[in-house]
Structure 1
């Protein structure tokens, strides 16, 4: 991309409404606001100033807050930090993990478990699992759950899987693929 010296380059990306908003009386519209920016659910955003001053950053951040409102928190990052978050973290790691959950749900249904029962069971357990693993819940897994978790990690995940996705070469390739390959 050609960089013009007379322009400010500000990069912003919404974090999207959280799985755990921790808000009293959250409206149904806010609960169903998947992307944010429509005024229903609060969300955070990440921002970076590629070219410009601190004053430019403040001006651009204020504009971004209006564009994606309602914004709760805004995090100032570098461009390099932003590409660790996306595509590496959310598109190359968390999306495949969630896709794997969906595939496992479908496998349960194929084995004869009623879909409504599978969905109720997995969604409830996901809440507990996210709560425990991200330190929201304030309690640990049971010994049996910890053993099953440990055993499954060795089956599901390859050695060095995080580094294989989050190293700079892999991130740069992913960014290049996204920005060049899909536009062909």
Structure 2
């Protein structure tokens, strides 16, 4: 039987992946350091196993811990792994920055959920309520595995499909490509735009004085239209809307904004996220 360990099983992401793995056919071990996390796991009747002990038994070790400590956690656990084991992280930043302790006789994978699409056809209340994914709403996953060990990749794929279930598909890319997707595409751009929309709503209501129900209704409906028109080509924008869009770009967006896709800028934002001086490069 395949043994999978979740390190950080009492944390936010640790809980999400543990909930799915706990009902799987894998033998699952749970590791947690914090008293609060241990208490939570105890309330779920999940026995806590020492991380090093669990690592020695495992075929796959999922490091569900904050990015800023992944380097130290890998230094403690990677030496304990049996040859052929897989280290699976949930974000690409630490792998991209070469912070994970390297061993030639083990494999490394990264897998990040796409979350349920805004265009997902939801047919149940449970799917509608699951905005994050991993409970009821189907989602896709993007993963990186740069070894040519297809047996290990298949095992990683199997674990990924369980821990993020229900999964539509797993898309395999390089670590760098995954880092371009997150943070650059979805955090630097998409999440920032979401925050900007919220700020614009606040200004509309609290500075201009538009009643909040009217402003919120207008914004949320038009967000749907904006996304489907631009990303799916559902309908053309009106000529007047295009003029207003051009004004918005001129007023809000910097001319050189596409520099965020340069390698140096990717290094910069990941170093900032990991709270390190600079991204490490292999010699």
Query: The residue matched to 1:21 in structure 2 has which SS?
Result: coil
Give the corresponding residue for 1:6. Answer: 105
TM-score of the two chains, using structure 1 as the length reference = 0.90
Q: Secondary structure at the match of 1:158?
A: coil
Partner of 1:97: 193
2:264 is matched with 169
Paired residue total? 176
Point out 4+ residue stretches in structure 1 off by more than 6 angstroms.
Answer: none
Q: Distance in 2 between matches of 1:178 and 1:112?
A: 37
SS of aligned partner of 1:4: coil
Distance 1:49 1:62 in 2: 13
In the alignment, is residue 114 of structure 1 matched against residue 211 of structure 2? yes
Larger Rg: 2
Q: Distance in 2 between matches of 1:21 and 1:104?
A: 26
Choose which of 108, 113, 118 in structure 2 pairs with 1:19: 118
State whether structure 2 residue 247 is matched by structure 1 residue 151: yes
> What is the alpha-carbon distance in structure 2 between the residues aligned to residue 113 and residue 29 of structure 1?
34
Contact 1:50 1:79 in 2 (8 A): yes
The answer to whether the Cα contact below 8 Å between 1:8 and 1:52 also exists between their aligned partners in 2 is: no
The separation in 2 between residues aligned to 1:179 and 1:105, in whole angstroms, is 31
- Distance in 2 between residues matched to 1:10 and 1:98, nearest whole Å: 29
Structure 2 gaps of 5+ residues are: 1-99, 277-283
How far is 1:128 from its partner? Answer: 0.8
Separation in 2 of the partners of 1:6 and 1:166?
A: 33
Compute the displacement of 1:48 (Å).
Answer: 0.8
Q: Distance in 1 between matches of 2:118 and 2:255?
A: 29
Deviation at 1:51, TM superposition (A): 3.8
Distance 1:129 1:29 in 2: 26
Where in structure 1 are there 5+ consecutive unaligned residues? none
The Cα shift of 1:55 comes to 2.1
CA distance in 1 between partners of 2:242 and 2:173 (Å): 35
1:23-62 matches, cutoff 5 A: 23=122, 26-38=123-135, 40-51=136-147, 53-62=149-158
| Partner of residue 175, structure 2 | 79
C-alpha change, 1:79 and 1:180, in structure 2 (3 Å) is: same
Instruction: Give the deviation of 1:136 after TM superposition.
Output: 4.6
